[in-house]
Structure 1
């Protein structure tokens, strides 16, 4: 039997786009062994638009240092989605033409695009430039959407939740082309080690432990000060500095003077670190937050950039899974969780009930069916799980607080 080919088109701007594409690719192989060939492509960088891709990523990274500007810009774009689509279409038209030619030569059975720009690109590639492969868009924002995703020509758009689907419809996506499927995470986070085994693997001493993730793009906060406050509260810290060499050096110097601090640079062991920790502190990035919840760990958020991340904060607060805390209060917030083991246990039960394994498998099964050319059955809103059923009303009920943007050198 011929293997079906699925081409995941993404853009490595932030971690969430590549993470969800990889999660879906992994799930196809895990659940349908031997049936599919997959490719996860940073598509603009790899297929002839490297200059535009570099400028886009550099501009996004710069904007993340100004979170209020990010939120203001999104609000302006959302006021005039047709204008946003037109400007985006003009910018990306040349790439739409070229990628149609490239993919017609590769001839995958299905394209899955998971960036707002790519929704525009592939709609034009299909409608104007003769791309033969069907395209499905996976909208990566868990609980909202911006005008960047509002392409009415999209054939099918997969939304993680009712809240996200409502925004997509409001901004221009046809309701009959929307389907709510949940949020996929990678296999390592769906099948983590037990806490004790993970701690033994890392050589950690007994005690309540916080995973402080500082390597994400756009993290706001005084990194060393946060570590010191956490240590002062009696919490051991696993600090991940990512590729920030200067920060890692400063933290390693601190670890020589203080007990309870273990420092990591860029690492592919995040699932193990999450399993070893009791709570997580970091930015409200959708993918990293959902990975933490998949492992059953609550998330204390010290910063958020776009409105998508504010929606993540509201979700955490509405479900007792963490929420926003000021940088100066992070030690107190961690200690509060330390002193409430029943609260930790309840958060773990709530996170498990979100059913990340089920959402990931169901999303992959739907993509597999599309790659085979099957007709999807009608959507059944009564079959949605707890995550997929999150609505705008759910989020509105959560406390609305604002992060204090304090920046550290990158």
Structure 2
């Protein structure tokens, strides 16, 4: 996923650590230097031993703090970890008789946590008060430097797509994957084991591509060579997926689409382990919405005007301002006083203020910050302009909204573009004027909008979260039965 750049970032940070540490703690004479040890590093049979003796890593292990710090800040969108700060590694989180489900993620972008929360809600819907679900960013909360910096690294690289492209594709190569695996095991295994022992799960669900390898090994170790805790992966990419998503030892791998299923099969996952259920989305999208007239009144919109929803993501990044300006100009010229635009700026307060200060004659423009009622706004929308994030695409499909894609992260989101365009319910262009022209043509052709809306709904999986939760309940039941 989006944190795949970590392999390249890790290499740079390890070298930096070595350069800072070397004058104070020279490596032993027999420590292998980088050039001569490269072949050994990526040999699966002896790479772990080679890395332990590799001087830059030894410097890193001395430089990093020996103390595993727990996160003391309560997250408003996730589990509270402040209580765990003083909990011994051997203790477990109280469960009060409920089944404990540990969902592992990394907060690189909002999609992993959003899907995890959807799964949490689905489990509670199927079996109320039967589960204690913990959603844990295991790399940030239990990892060690440099691996606990994934979230910061993602935010920076995502804003510089040429850097992202290079890192993403480089990290998909076997040497980079092996490098990341070995360094992560050596520096993060103790922290990850602490996490798993604290939560003492009855079920583990990975919703991030880097949350399979180490947890599976730890669970096997805790079971004296036999893993007794069921383990599932839920892939949260839609039209494509990084190879690290697919681990042969999981009990089940939930995939959202035919494209991702094919990738999993190429990576050697058995067909019996693959379950195609769709992408889990927020509970608001599980239910039928209110009427258009009622929503229009509540949201301050006109029920009779065509509505264009322009979404800039949680941080409001991208060319949203130029898209709004171009679309407002084109729409007001082609169909004056017949359309309205809702611009969602996310957390970008400066962008929101700039748009609010502008005048758009001939079209009503409503500017919003971070919205909680995205399902209702999508129900009002006749089309949406957005980057190619898998969650937004999946939610728009459920509401039957034609999609105009304006941007995508190279590699990670590239497969989402043909998912939309080949599916017949959208188009792609990075140019604001081209976007404005395409959207305006849609608004002037109700028949095309209706056809694209139908195809979007055909690609939707509104019950994905509940279906996955049902399968997980069954996996827990089977594990219980086998244990008796």
**2:200 — aligned with what?**
107
Normalised to the residue count of structure 1, the TM-score between the two structures is: 0.82
Aligned with 1:224 (options 321, 329, 337): 321
Bigger shift: 303-312 or 348-357?
348-357
Matched, 1:18 2:123: no
Distance 2:219 2:307 in 1: 50
Residues 207 and 170 from structure 1, CA distance in 2 versus in 1: closer, same or farther, beyond 3 angstroms?
same
Distance 1:315 1:370, change over 3 A: same
Match of 1:295 in 2: 399
Task: State the partner residue of 2:5.
Answer: none
Asked if structure 1 preserves the Cα contact closer than 8 Å seen for 2:139 and 2:150, the reply is no
Residue 245 in 1 paired to residue 349 in 2?
Answer: yes
Structure 1: state its 5+ residue gaps: 377-410
- Give yes or no for contact 1:23–1:184 (8 Å, CA) kept in 2: yes
Kindly tell me the number of residue pairs found equivalent between the two proteins: 373
Deviations 1:247-287 (A, max 9, x none): 11111111587851111111212112112221110100001
1:280 aligns to 2:384 (yes or no): yes
SS of 1:140's equivalent in the other structure is coil
Q: Deviations over 1:347-383 (max 9, x none)?
A: 222233335233332211111111223599xxxxxxx
Residue 96 of structure 1 corresponds to which residue in structure 2? Answer: 189
Q: Given that residues 185 and 356 in structure 1 are in contact (C-alpha distance below 8 angstroms), is that contact kept between their aligned partners in structure 2?
A: no
Q: 1:57 maps to what in 2?
A: 151
Matched, 1:204 2:301: yes
Distance 1:35 1:127 in 2: 26
C-alpha distance in structure 1 between counterparts of 2:207 and 2:130, whole Å: 22
Separation (CA, whole Å) in 1 of partners of 2:198 and 2:233: 21
- Residues 284 and 301 of structure 1 are in contact (CA less than 8 Å); yes or no, is this contact kept in structure 2? yes
**Aligned mates of 1:211, 1:264 — CA distance in 2:** 11
CA distance change for structure 1 residues 142 and 77 in 2, over 3 Å: closer, same or farther?
same
Q: Deviations over 1:98-139 (max 9, x none)?
A: 232332232221111111111233223224465863321112
| 2:467 paired with 1:373 | no
Q: Residues 292 and 89 from structure 1, CA distance in 2 versus in 1: closer, same or farther, beyond 3 angstroms?
A: farther
Equivalent in the alignment of 1:236: 340
Residue 218 of structure 2 is aligned to residue 125 of structure 1: yes
Secondary structure in structure 1 of the residue aligned to 2:413: helix
Number of the residue aligned with 1:399? none
Q: What does residue range 4-403 of structure 1 map to in structure 2 within 5 Å? A: 4-45=99-140, 47-49=141-143, 52=146, 55-78=149-172, 80-81=173-174, 83-128=176-221, 133-171=229-267, 173-191=269-287, 192-205=289-302, 206-216=304-314, 219-221=317-319, 223-234=320-331, 235-254=339-358, 259-325=363-429, 326-373=431-478
Report if the CA contact (8 A) 1:96-1:124 is conserved.
no
**3-state secondary structure, aligned to 1:271:** helix
Indicate the larger mover: 149-158 or 359-368.
Answer: 149-158
Equivalence for 1:390: none
Q: Relative to structure 2, which stretch is displaced further, 149-158 or 319-328?
A: 149-158
Q: 1:357 to 1:282 in 2, by over 3 A?
A: closer
Instruction: State the alpha-carbon separation in 1 of the partners of residues 443 and 360 from structure 2.
Output: 25
Q: CA RMSD in A?
A: 2.7
CA distance in 2, matches of 1:225, 1:218: 12
Distance in 2 between residues matched to 1:306 and 1:49, nearest whole Å: 27
Q: Where does structure 2 lack aligned partners over 5 or more consecutive residues? A: 1-95, 332-338
> Could you tell me how far 1:93 is from its partner in structure 2?
4.3
Q: Which has the larger radius of gyration?
A: 2
Task: Quote how far apart the aligned CAs of 1:14 are.
Answer: 0.9
Q: TM-score, normalised by structure 2?
A: 0.70
